[in-house]
Amino acid sequence: MRLATFILALGTSAACACTIPVFRFALDRWEADKFHLVLPSAVAQAPEIQDLLRPLRANGKANLDFTTATDATQKDAILRYSRASDKQVWSGKLDADTLAAVLDSPARKKLVERLLAGDSIIWVIADSGSPVDVLEVERIEKRLKFLEQVASLPIQDPDDPDSQLGPGPPLRLKFTTLRLRRSDPAERMLLHMLAGPQGKFDPTTTSFASAVFGRGRVLGAWPLDVLDDASLEDASMFLVGRCGCRLKNESPGWDILLNLDWEKALPAAATAAAAATAPPTAVTDPTPVALETPSPPPSQLRATIDPTTAPEVLKISPEEPEQPATGNKWPLMVGLAAGLVLLALIPRWLRK
């Protein structure tokens, strides 16, 4: 079955000027619906159970509330999809282990990581591991890779007040898959949450896929033999297209229970993403570096004592070029005078 009926049910796509994709609008603005845990009267009054539930009463992170059963014959705790729903997700004895399984699971932790990383849609695939299921999973993954290449996000107008993104990871187009085993006891509650409150099939005996987005919103769940390429495309393109509805209850789907404070987690994801993409900061030495001036050649330098400072302080100053030694000039002058006298007497001697 294709998603045409889901998309037509919105009815307001053309009138909405918002350019934020559906998956991101849900992440920014749609608070997760609360699941409802109904406790037997005797269990609710037990001190150890009250200690377990105390952190959930005051500012609990999980989208979960709880009440005491009015039926005195109720013996087990019952987890329902909401206060208004009578559909059960789980029932049994409530203790520390079962409460931990209600609140979280390994697969739900991975879902939270991918949603906070900015993945557009996480297709959670629950299969048996049979050869037939393996082929179906490969087909789905191949188709999603193709759709990711050809799809595009709506162009964002930063000046449009109706299209302002909330704090969170960078906006990007990314389709991913998360595989579960239907027989995994740690994910039994998650399997029922993914299959949805309508109970169209048994998630423990039917291999199926669910499209998860936003704050753990499930658009729909389809058995693998029903989820053809056209339905896969309809669901994916709807979630990356413009948000055609402002109210959550106008959108198809249901929520899963996640133990997370989204109002704190989204700004933290934005900070982490900004730090990861920021360019490295250059390390500067605050000590100023003095520029060096040319010095005279070593042959023209000599150490002299600066008379204006202490005797220990020496200054290096250019040395004046040395003058050639003159020696004693008197013998040379006497010789020249005697020679001149002899030259003057020679003509007289010749006339005699």
Q: Which of the residue ranges 47-56, 102-111, 160-169, 273-282 would you say has the lowest mean pLDDT? A: 273-282
- Statement: the pTM of the whole predicted model exceeds 0.85: no
Instruction: Return d(Cα 237, Cα 213) in angstroms, integer.
Output: 13
What is residue 273's predicted lDDT score, i.e. its pLDDT? 87
Q: Looking at residue 248, what DSSP letter applies?
A: G
Nearest by Cα to 87 from 188, 198, 195, 191: 198
Mean pLDDT of 103-123: 97
| pLDDT value of residue 132 | 96
Q: What integer pLDDT is reported at residue 72 of this predicted model?
A: 87
Q: Residue 93 pLDDT > 80, yes or no?
A: yes
Domain ranges within the chain, ordered by starting residue: 4-32+107-273
Percent of the chain beyond pLDDT 70?
74
- pLDDT grade, residue 245 (50/70/90)? low
- Residue 58 has a pLDDT of 73
- What's the pLDDT score for residue 13? 44
Closest CA to 227 of 55, 44, 1: 1
Rounded to an integer, what distance in angstroms lies between the CA atom of residue 196 and that of residue 30? 18
- The mean pLDDT of 2-31, rounded to a whole number, is 69
pLDDT for residue 282:
56
What average pLDDT does this structure show over 189-212?
95
- Integer-rounded Cα Rg, in Å, for the chain is 44
